[in-house]
Amino acid sequence: MYHLECIECHKKYPETKVIYTCTCGGLLDVVYDYSRIHLTKNDLTGPLSVWKYRALLPISREPVSLDEGGTPLYRVDRIAKSVGLKDVYVKHEGMNPTGSFKDRGMTVGVTKALELGMKTVACASTGNTSASLAVYGARAGVPAVVLLPSGKVALGKLAQALMHGAKVLSIRGNFDDALKLVRDLCDREGFYLLNSVNPYRLEGQKTIAFEIADQLGWQAPDRLVLPVGNAGNITAIYKGFKELKNLGLIDSVPMMTGIQAEGASPIVAAIKNNAAAITPDSHPETVATAIRIGNPVNSIKALIAIRESGGTAETVTDDEIIRAQQELAYLEGIGVEPASASSIAGLRKLVELGVIGTDEKVVCVTTGHLLKDSEHVLSVCPKPIEIDATIEAVRAAVFSK
């Protein structure tokens, strides 16, 4: 029903082969025989979840699952008004079991690890991938090894990786260094690599597209806006929408619009310079530590997704990210981590620049939950007002300016 295929030289590999990139160095895709997949809207009734779309997932065994997916799509009229649009939605991926979209990839990826008979799973991570891998490793009963950039991982994410029993290694280097090391480690030790270079992980993440179309009544929005780090998610979501279009379930694919932090923006630079490939950034820096990535492994796929769909890419500053995070929190009651807020910051900037038209229906993906990074919250919000335990002090404080 499916195989792995290089996006550069189109060499094919059987789905039973443990391989992450082609012998030519190209990225791999999972390619299905779509002529054998007959899926209609009537087959897709019932509650949302990753495994609702099983006909389009490369797994035959019982999944390792914690009921991932099924995240809310909120209409956000106050944000829409604030940025000058009419039709804006937030797909809040922070509502997944571990608080980020990574769970969609991990339920598929860790299940694939079991199918392939792998004994240990591993990843490098800016935080969320490690939290998710630790949790799904625990659920599967398979040991997990995670490599993190020392001192640059939000505490909530680190806490998850530790509590769920992963072997946590803190690397004196950045995410890009950690990814290089874990790829080497997996090659040497036969561990299963679950970074987004693994095409099976992206298969899980493409279900974000399926759910959005499903929630909008089998329609694609005009535009999808999301944060970009290692560029797996933008690639995966684009593939998801394309598959729905191939199957005749939707008529169009949204303009894929990637947002990066100004201090870590190689994909935006490549789009603006019309370059065939990115120039890696050796010193990425941003308050949004989740996307503090200078050499995105899926950049070639992401450039294709953005260009083919007629989308774009834009940077936002750390201050713009924090403002967007606060706005989403107090205007709409949606709590997201800084990286996720970059989608809202990017939306505002692209409307101001006239790139996003005022009649567009836009979905912003918020990738991770507010509670992932509470240290950051305490550093940008006013402190609690500490007072004596008397009603006079309470009343004075309540009405203080």
Q: Note the residues at the interface with ligand AN7 (CB under 6 A).
A: 100, 125-129, 196, 227-233, 290-291, 337, 339-340, 367-368
Closest CB to ligand AN7 among 82 and 98?
Answer: 98
Least distance in angstroms from the C-beta of 183 to ligand AN7? 13
DSSP annotation of 272 reads H
Least distance in angstroms from the C-beta of 2 to ligand AN7? 22
Least distance in angstroms from the C-beta of 174 to ligand AN7? 11
Least distance in angstroms from the C-beta of 150 to ligand AN7? 14
Least distance in angstroms from the C-beta of 35 to ligand AN7? 30
Least distance in angstroms from the C-beta of 305 to ligand AN7? 11
Q: Which residue has the tokens 């919000």?
A: 381
Query: CA angle, 268 as apex, 271 and 28 as ends, to 5°?
Result: 75
Q: Are 281 and 217 in contact (CB under 8 A)?
A: no
Residue 43 and residue 38: Cα distance in Å, rounded? 9
Least distance in angstroms from the C-beta of 352 to ligand AN7? 23
Q: Which of 327, 331, 340, 333 is nearest to 380 (CA)?
A: 327
Closest CB to ligand AN7 among 152 and 249?
Answer: 152
Kindly report the number of other CB atoms within 10 A of residue 95's CB atom. Answer: 17
Closest CB to ligand AN7 among 103 and 214?
Answer: 103
Residue 326, SS3? helix
Residue 133, SS3? helix
Closest CB to ligand AN7 among 142 and 365?
Answer: 365
Query: CA angle, 70 as apex, 131 and 204 as ends, to 5°?
Result: 55
**Sequence-ordered list of residues with C-beta below 8 angstroms from that of 200, at least 6 positions apart, any chain:** 30, 58, 108, 109, 112
Q: Which residue has the tokens 């692209």?
A: 350
Residue 398, SS3? helix
Strand partners, 165: none
Closest CB to ligand AN7 among 135 and 228?
Answer: 228
Strand partners, 5: 12, 29
Closest CB to ligand AN7 among 174 and 230?
Answer: 230
Closest CB to ligand AN7 among 96 and 111?
Answer: 96
